[in-house]
Amino acid sequence: MKINLISDTVTKPSPGMLEAMRSADVGDDVFKADPSVNKLEAKVAALFNKEAALYFPSGTMTNQTAIKLHTKPGDQLICDKYAHVYNYEGGGVSFNSGVSCKLIDGHRGMMTSDQVEEGINPPDFYHSPLTSLVCVENTTNKGGGACWDFSELERIKNVCEKHGLAYHLDGARIWNALVEKGESAKQYGELFDTISVCLSKGLGCPVGSVLVGSEESIERALRIRKILGGGMRQSGYLAAAGIYALDNHIERLSEDHKKAGEIGLLLESLPFIKKVEPLETNIIIFEIDENYLSAEDFIAKLEDKEIYIIGMGQGKLRMVTHMDYTDDMHEILQKTLRTL
């Protein structure tokens, strides 16, 4: 049995999801005439209590569109040094928006409001780029699935208001944070100008992300999505998967978190593991004690047993639990790790 823990994006649609997709009512979404896409957008907007939403083919495109919305070429955005928008979107910040990043040396992908305030360039000092946007990520990907303390996000919001900065949330895994912390989507909607959410990570859809914001910003986002080539036609087949996932796959994320916690505890007890980062959601980041074996050898040994994980660089390894990681696989993984 192949056990794939490389990412929570490796899932395949469940029978229920496939049935929802097959029976979707569709139209041409470029003409805004796809009832399933319209329904998904209305549903996500309502969930976050925002005026409007727009469906996208990827989380990268939602983030890039949000950055384009809130900045002008030459501007600077503030984000943590681990941020997905900086590290994993192909340099799109500069390619698409002509914007640079002020990187904050935060903790597990999270910054403090003081760090954000210190990162703002004085607007009257015309030699430095104009700061116009703050981007945060919840849960943090490279930070090991860490969840923000909501009050810190509120303090950053105050800093944004004081300095006239836009505030964007990369909520690719916001669902994991909501479930883990017992928070509501609405409280996030209230705080941020725009939020991007992924349907193709823990929620198990084959494709799709959504951007929420004001009526005015989503209208502008529609034009940007067009420019980026993100307009799709009968995308209701995909949106139907999103609607199904929102109705059926959010609460179950706690199972992924429980399994990840158990793997983390087991790893900590093994002699060849040097360090396991604190576990909050479904991402396990850990380091091998290279006196025993190298990270590459560890990955290869697991591969021999048809277990697949990924290296994050600097000797860090990552496993991510997800919908298709079953109880049986969980047993096999634990047994394999104990006897490695």
Ligand X SMILES: *Cc1c(COP(=O)(O)O)cnc(C)c1O
# of chain residues touching ligand X (CB under 6 A): 13
Nearer to ligand X, 137 or 180 (CB): 137
320 beta partners: 283
Q: Which of 116, 153, 198, 323 binds ligand X (CB under 6 A)?
A: 198
User: In the complex, what is the shortest distance from the CB of residue 1 to ligand X, in angstroms, rounded to a whole number?
Assistant: 26
Residues 74-113 that bind ligand X (CB under 6 A): 84
Within residues 306-335, the interface with ligand X by CB under 6 A covers none
The answer to whether 209 contacts ligand X (rule: CB under 6 A) is yes
Give the one residue of 64, 141, 235, 282 binding ligand X; rule: CB under 6 A. Answer: 141
Q: 236-248 vs 35-47: helix axis angle to the nearest 10?
A: 40
In the bound state with ligand X, the residue whose beta carbon lies nearer, of 21 and 135, is 135
Q: Are 329 and 3 within 8 A, CB to CB?
A: yes
Minimum CB separation of residue 58 from ligand X in Å reads 4
- Residue 107 has what DSSP assignment? B
- The type of residue at 106 is G
Closest-by-Cβ residue to ligand X is 59
Task: Please pick, from the candidates 37, 45, 172, 199, the single residue that binds ligand X as defined by CB under 6 A.
Answer: 172
Q: What tokens were used for 248?
A: 């059926």
* Joined tokens for residue 168: 């964007």
Q: How far is the CB of 7 from ligand X (least distance, A)?
A: 8
Q: How near is the Cβ of 310 to ligand X at its closest, in Å?
A: 13
Measured from the CB of residue 59, what is the shortest distance to ligand X in angstroms? 2
Q: Is 164 exposed, middle or buried (0-12, 13-18, 19+ CB in 10 A)?
A: exposed
The CB-of-242 to ligand X minimum distance in angstroms stands at: 13
Q: Which CB atom, from 41 or from 170, has the smaller least distance to ligand X?
A: 170
Cis peptide before 194 (omega within 30 of 0): no
**CA atoms of 244 and 134, how far apart (whole Å):** 32
Q: Which amino acid, 259?
A: K
Contact in structure between 325 and 308 (CB atoms under 8 Å): no
- b/e 89-111 (16+ beta carbons within 10 angstroms → b): beebbeebbebebbbbebebbbb
What is the b/e burial string over 207-241, where b = at least 16 CB atoms within 10 angstroms of the residue's CB? bbbbbbbeeebbeebbebbeebebbbebbbbbbbb
Residue 295's SS3 state is: helix
In angstroms, rounded to a whole number, what is the distance separating the alpha carbons of residues 71 and 191?
19
Please say whether the beta carbons of 187 and 154 come within 8 A: no
Return the number of the residue (141 or 217) whose C-beta is nearest ligand X.
Answer: 141
Of the candidate spans 122-130, 193-201, 239-247, 269-277, the one that interacts with ligand X by CB under 6 A turns out to be 193-201
What x/- string results for residues 40 through 79 when contact with ligand X is judged by CB under 6 A?
------------------xxx--x----------------
Work out whether the CA dihedral 222, 223, 224, 230 comes out positive or negative. positive
Residue 3 structure tokens: 């056990």
Q: How far is the CB of 216 from ligand X (least distance, A)?
A: 24
Residue 80 or 120: which CB sits closer to ligand X? 80
Question: Closest CB to ligand X among 61 and 273?
Answer: 61
Name which of 63 and 71 has its Cβ closer to ligand X: 63
Closer residue to ligand X in complex, CB, 64/120: 64
For ligand X, the closer of residues 84 and 157 by Cβ is: 84
Minimum CB separation of residue 170 from ligand X in Å reads 5
Residues of the shown chain interacting with ligand X in the complex, contacts defined by CB under 6 A: 58-60, 63, 84, 137, 141, 170, 172, 198, 200-201, 209
